[in-house]
């Protein structure tokens, strides 16, 4: 109803607009925006233990690592290499270059034999396994 009123008003204004361009386009009247109310229920953190803060080793931002990964992707094809991974794999999927033996466990940083390309599922599962191993140690 409000909208119809505005349309009628615009036409009326255009009809009676002075000057040569009688049917000039009138600026659309603006409606005040509706404000949404904030939730009155507080969020509850149900985790029993907080996850450790996510930190990124600056090594993974280094030129040497990025050059090595680009070379591996070119040579092996940008696809998941995890033989135990059940996928799903699809074109355009994000593929991670992952150290087979982690650096913190003494794995070679820049040896291509210590790097495996993994899809996000494989990478996530491996990271979770490593985290459990570390928490038990």
Binding residue (CB under 5 A) for Zn ion from 95, 117, 119, 123: 119
Which of 80, 97 has the CB closer to Zn ion? 80
Omega into 111 within 30° of 0, i.e. cis? no
Q: Can you list the positions of beta strands (E) in the chain? A: 95-99, 115-119
Neighbours of 131 (CB within 10 A): 12
Which of 65, 122 has the CB closer to Zn ion? 122
Q: Which of 80, 79, 68 is nearest to 114 (CA)?
A: 68
Taking residues 49 to 88 in sequence order and writing x for each that binds Zn ion by CB under 5 A, - otherwise, the string is: -------------------------------x----x---
Residue 115 within binding range of Zn ion, rule CB under 5 A: no
Residue 117 within binding range of Zn ion, rule CB under 5 A: no
Residue 95 within binding range of Zn ion, rule CB under 5 A: no
Q: Kindly state the greatest CA–CA separation across the chain.
A: 85
Q: Which of 92, 80, 93 is nearest to 125 (CA)?
A: 80
Q: Which residue ranges make up the site for Zn ion (CB under 5 A)?
A: 80, 85, 119, 122
């Amino acid at each position: 109803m409000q909208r119809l009123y505005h349309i009628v008003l615009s036409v009326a204004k255009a009809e009676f607009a002075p000057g040569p361009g009688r049917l000039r386009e009138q600026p659309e009247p603006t409606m005040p925006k509706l404000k949404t109310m904030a939730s009155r229920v507080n969020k509850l953190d149900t985790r029993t233990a907080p996850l450790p803060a996510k930190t990124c080793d600056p090594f993974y931002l280094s030129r040497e690592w990025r050059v090595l990964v680009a070379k591996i992707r070119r040579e092996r094809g940008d696809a998941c290499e995890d033989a135990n991974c059940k996928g799903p794999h699809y074109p355009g999927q994000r593929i991670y270059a992952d150290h087979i033996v982690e650096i913190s466990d003494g794995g070679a940083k820049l040896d291509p034999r210590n790097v495996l390309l993994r899809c996000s599922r494989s990478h996530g599962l491996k990271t979770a396994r490593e985290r459990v191993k570390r928490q038990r140690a």
